[in-house]
Structure 1
């Protein structure tokens, strides 16, 4: 859920907003779920495009203020739902809205979260080692200070795709306890070669991995996709924006499977049912993801990695839901 912010007082701008609205058409008169509300950019876009009702979901309690403000402005057309999008079905049931026309996702961490040092998502600004989207449960500090070295290495390997995950995990366990983002970043860098001029900071992959693990982001994405499949009306539209390869791989494989185009990505996860008995629940829009244009990436560099995948719900029944996201990714050999 990346939004641009050129200055501390500049408005947040949702990535690929016109493309998301186009993929959701027709929007006028539709019932929409903005499953990753954030600062409300998509919700405002849907309201401006004529949606009848928009439900904004967010697990981050700091999003509630913007949600309540939009409720007051919308004349009853918008409602903020505090919670995880993986719990979309229960949230919609509580709101009295069984089925919807559009579900939009904007996965990942927002610029608001990254820019707030006290949230501990980024090492660009030193702050407490937190990373929790809900500000509850296990923090990043809890994980790196208590987990076994092998578990830390596995998390950094799988979710950060860091080839030197074992060296990084060793440096973390030797240097702990950690309380701040700066201290952890320095420990990670100590285990890796210095970066070149045009390379990302060596700590980036490890921070991404720890954040994904602490918030169970991939499991939550899969639960959200399954919930959207179950609650979209026939002909309803799904729009999913991702920002890194793990997110995009999961969305692509889910939609490819549900469209009846793919084989089981893993023997551990029943994401694809027997195609002789299960009709496709989605029709994929286009053959390639939509990416941001030159004008948008020039104005907002964070949009460079954004990919939009869209699909239309068929009239087939929803498939049996896979248990979790584990096994959907082919782990490279160490």
Structure 2
């Protein structure tokens, strides 16, 4: 369903919508007829349709209004068993009454968004430098044209793992003083001119910068962290949390959350001074990666990882963002809108 890093500028034609690790997701959810599952990242509805076919009811969430509009046909087809909600998945516990049997999150940007040039997620086809999933708030152009040099370098370096983040940020600062960036091809070409591209380079030199801008504009890491806490509140005892990520930063957040919620003891629990934290999740399996056959059939799935865990009867714990170890980055609201 979602695209991994490095695919925003991939060559070739539009990608087909292929749900990533679908069989593994269904197996991890352990679906039974009549259950209620939250699909926090509806996208083109691949997971949702498969979950419905397995006999469960689905509350499907997406903050992209175009995804919700496209899903209305499916909602009508599955009358009474599918409810679409337009909103951020970080508030998923607010969209249901009581608790649910499963939560599945497929993190990243959907193939549909990448393939629509006017959304500005990709430089495969030129479009406005936008990247907003919801269509609201500051755009990628606002960030590129208004952030200070150091802030740009930190965004590119951390969120994009771009080794030449400083050079690229300085180039942007110089060029935008003469003419603000407004198009995806314009920014991609400027980065390629600066960095160069060897014949053996597998990805476009602007890929990591575009990835960083997309993650930052949509606060994807913050949304993921908040969604994990929301899932802890929404799941009933025995309920399953299933998360598919495509980026090492996303996977690290999920891994640290599950490890933290699995319960830790300082000292021995048998000693009076021991402090034992009852787990809110258990049954955490080792991460599942995409198989060779799926990665070959769907290149966007090549970096995908699935992690899952089971909710216990312990009450939800306080949301503590320090467990993720995320660095301080400029808030997206700090960007001044330039168009």
Return the alpha-carbon distance in structure 2 between the equivalents of residues 46 and 262 of structure 1. 37
The C-alpha deviation readout for 1:219-254, integer Å capped at 9, x for no partner, is 000000000011100000011000111111111111
**1:104 Cα deviation (Å)?**
0.1
Q: What is the match of residue 293 of structure 1? A: 291
Which segment drifts farther, 184-193 or 13-22?
184-193
Q: Which runs of 5+ in 2 are unaligned?
A: 5-11, 267-273, 330-339
Residues 11/214 of structure 1: CA separation in 2 closer, same or farther (3 Å cut): closer
Contact 2:265 2:276 survives alignment (8 Å): no
Return the alpha-carbon distance in structure 2 between the equivalents of residues 179 and 126 of structure 1. 10
Return the alpha-carbon distance in structure 2 between the equivalents of residues 48 and 283 of structure 1. 27
The C-alpha deviation readout for 1:155-180, integer Å capped at 9, x for no partner, is 11110111211111001111111010
The answer to whether residue 31 in structure 2 is matched with residue 31 in structure 1 is no
Q: Secondary structure at the match of 1:297?
A: helix
Return the alpha-carbon distance in structure 2 between the equivalents of residues 128 and 200 of structure 1. 21
With normalisation by structure 2, the TM-score equals 0.86
Q: Secondary structure at the match of 1:14?
A: coil
Return the alpha-carbon distance in structure 1 between the equivalents of residues 78 and 118 of structure 2. 31
Q: What is the match of residue 18 of structure 2? A: 13
The match for 1:238 among 238, 241, 244 is 241
Deviating above 6 A after TM superposition, structure 1's stretches of 4 or more consecutive aligned residues are none
**1:323 Cα deviation (Å)?**
4.3
Return the alpha-carbon distance in structure 2 between the equivalents of residues 109 and 203 of structure 1. 17
**1:3 Cα deviation (Å)?**
6.5
Q: How does 1:257-272 map to 2 (within 5 A)?
A: 257-260=260-263
Q: Secondary structure at the match of 1:150?
A: helix
Q: What is the match of residue 211 of structure 1? A: 214
The match for 1:179 among 182, 194, 206 is 182
Q: Secondary structure at the match of 1:191?
A: helix
Residues 190/43 of structure 1: CA separation in 2 closer, same or farther (3 Å cut): same
**1:27 Cα deviation (Å)?**
3.1
Return the alpha-carbon distance in structure 2 between the equivalents of residues 214 and 121 of structure 1. 11
Return the alpha-carbon distance in structure 2 between the equivalents of residues 306 and 161 of structure 1. 17
Q: What is the match of residue 225 of structure 2? A: 222
Q: How does 1:34-73 map to 2 (within 5 A)?
A: 34-51=39-56, 53-73=57-77
Contact 2:108 2:245 survives alignment (8 Å): yes
**1:194 Cα deviation (Å)?**
2.5
The C-alpha deviation readout for 1:69-103, integer Å capped at 9, x for no partner, is 111011210000110000112222xxxx2210000
Return the alpha-carbon distance in structure 1 between the equivalents of residues 325 and 53 of structure 2. 40
Q: Secondary structure at the match of 1:233?
A: strand
Return the alpha-carbon distance in structure 2 between the equivalents of residues 32 and 186 of structure 1. 43
Residues 325/141 of structure 1: CA separation in 2 closer, same or farther (3 Å cut): farther
C-alpha RMSD of matched pairs (Å): 2.3
**1:60 Cα deviation (Å)?**
0.4
| Corresponding pairs, count | 312
Contact 1:238 1:313 survives alignment (8 Å): yes
Structure with more contact order per residue of length (Cα contacts < 8 Å, sep ≥ 6): 2
Contact 1:219 1:324 survives alignment (8 Å): no
Contact 1:3 1:13 survives alignment (8 Å): no
**1:147 Cα deviation (Å)?**
1.0
**1:330 Cα deviation (Å)?**
11
Return the alpha-carbon distance in structure 2 between the equivalents of residues 162 and 253 of structure 1. 23
Contact 2:105 2:242 survives alignment (8 Å): yes
Residues 262/199 of structure 1: CA separation in 2 closer, same or farther (3 Å cut): farther
Return the alpha-carbon distance in structure 1 between the equivalents of residues 324 and 196 of structure 2. 30
